[in-house]
């Protein structure tokens, strides 16, 4: 798979959001607060964007966290939310740090770094991760690669829509929804992709203003849109390849597609899950061990087979059935690389422009 196919975002930047995910133990049976022979707590707390853990307990996180606990005896405590939501929570807890590892999507991992939330640590195996997918200062490293996309209901629609313009049709009124830019990472990705496809902020906002007539309304969570689409409550929604591919295994009506501007090619861009060690982490040594494990060959080989995503390590080239299907899905899709520095700098202005255009 070419390097451009090995890059991956998702969530809250502003606003006060209710954290619906609770602090839960994952993959281990050791009691909370247990300690090793030296008195160090055998626990590590992860704050992460959603998509890699399954409600059925068969997701990539479920598997690798369980393997990690079995291997080290360290219990994984897990908090899930939007990328920006997790960053904001870490900011609020700066004087009483709770998280050891933070995993978010662009541009929120860069935002976390810019806010001083991350400390330098280069995990074992990071030398096998492409340069664009990790911090030059060692503050974060991608652990799972992924791409932005859309989903549609295969039962109600004979074939996937092909263009952005098709979504303006009256048949999609009240049957289309995308997660909220500035609140959900994949919602923010809608802005990024539309600005790329339409050639700038102004034409993108002009389009999204028209699309608002069909939009159901705000959604803080992208992962909740796929079940609605599978049931036919929605015909089209936004998402990302890894999450939606994994969901499609239990949602038979879910199909993945990539919008194109009329007359153009379908496009997407990479939204990797990127992990960093939290500054002043209460269990930093355990956090380092977990980061090492996430980038181990053992864990990376499971990314496609179990998680439905793309390995972050360039030397891990899976050949399982999911990997073959994912490669086929991406064939013919143009991959572009956003200017993450510009997006990080101007994200608030872009979100404000979207709010103004859509009346949100």
Residue 329: strand, helix, or coil: helix
The answer on pLDDT for 172 being more than 90 is yes
Token output for 168:
């303006």
Task: Specify the pLDDT at position 34.
Answer: 60
Query: 37 vs 10, 40, 45, 289, CA distance in Å?
Result: 39, 8, 20, 17
Pairing of β 267-268 and β 334-335: parallel
Which band of pLDDT confidence, cut at 50, 70 and 90, is reported for residue 221?
confident
Mean pLDDT of 211-217: 97
Task: Specify the pLDDT at position 37.
Answer: 45
Q: CA-to-CA distance for 124 and 105, rounded, in angstroms?
A: 21
Mean pLDDT of the chain: 89
More confident residue, 256 or 19: 256
Helices (H), 93-200: 108-114, 185-198
Per DSSP, the residues of 135-185 read: -TTSS-EEEEE-BEEEEEETTT-SS---BTGGGGSGGGTTSEE-PPTTTSH
The answer on pLDDT for 2 being more than 70 is no
Which band of pLDDT confidence, cut at 50, 70 and 90, is reported for residue 25?
very low
Q: CA-to-CA distance for 217 and 179, rounded, in angstroms?
A: 8
The answer to whether residues 85 and 276 touch, using CB atoms and an 8 Å cutoff, is no
Q: CA-to-CA distance for 105 and 123, rounded, in angstroms?
A: 18
Over its C-alpha atoms, the chain yields an Rg (Å, rounded) of 19
Query: 215 vs 145, 208, 211, 360, CA distance in Å?
Result: 29, 10, 6, 11
Which band of pLDDT confidence, cut at 50, 70 and 90, is reported for residue 82?
confident
More confident residue, 91 or 108: 91
């Amino acid at each position: 798979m070419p390097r451009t196919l090995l890059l991956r975002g998702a969530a809250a930047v502003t606003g006060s959001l209710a954290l619906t995910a609770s602090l839960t133990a994952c993959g281990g049976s050791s009691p909370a607060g247990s300690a090793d022979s030296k008195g160090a707590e055998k626990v590590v707390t992860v704050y992460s964007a959603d998509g890699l853990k399954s409600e059925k307990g068969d997701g990539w996180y479920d598997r690798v966290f369980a393997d990690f606990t079995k291997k080290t005896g360290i219990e994984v405590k897990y908090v899930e939310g939007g990328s920006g939501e997790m960053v904001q929570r870490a900011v609020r807890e700066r004087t009483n740090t709770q998280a050891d590892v933070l995993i978010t999507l662009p541009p929120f991992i860069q935002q976390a770094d810019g806010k001083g939330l991350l400390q330098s640590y280069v995990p074992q195996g990071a030398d096998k991760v492409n340069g664009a997918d990790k911090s030059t200062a060692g503050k974060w490293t991608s652990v799972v690669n992924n791409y932005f996309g859309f989903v549609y209901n295969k039962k109600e629609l004979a074939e996937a829509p092909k263009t952005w313009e098709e979504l303006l049709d009256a048949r999609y009124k009240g049957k289309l929804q995308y997660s909220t830019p500035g609140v959900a990472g994949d919602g923010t990705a809608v802005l990024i992709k539309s600005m790329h496809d339409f050639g700038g902020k102004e034409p993108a906002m002009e389009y999204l203003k028209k699309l608002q007539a069909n939009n159901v309304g705000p959604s803080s969570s992208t992962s909740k849109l796929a079940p609605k689409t599978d049931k036919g409550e929605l015909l089209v929604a936004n998402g990302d390849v890894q999450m939606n591919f994994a969901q499609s295994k239990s949602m038979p009506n879910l199909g993945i597609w990539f919008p194109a501007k009329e007359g153009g090619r379908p496009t997407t861009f990479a939204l990797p899950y990127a992990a960093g060690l939290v500054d002043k982490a209460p269990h930093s040594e355990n956090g380092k061990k977990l980061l090492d494990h996430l980038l181990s060959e053992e864990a990376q080989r499971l990314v496609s087979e179990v998680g439905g995503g793309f390995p972050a390590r360039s030397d891990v080239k899976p050949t399982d059935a999911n990997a073959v299907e994912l490669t086929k899905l991406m064939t013919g899709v143009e991959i572009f690389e956003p200017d993450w520095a510009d997006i990080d700098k101007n994200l608030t202005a872009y979100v404000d422009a979207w709010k103004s255009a859509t009346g949100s």
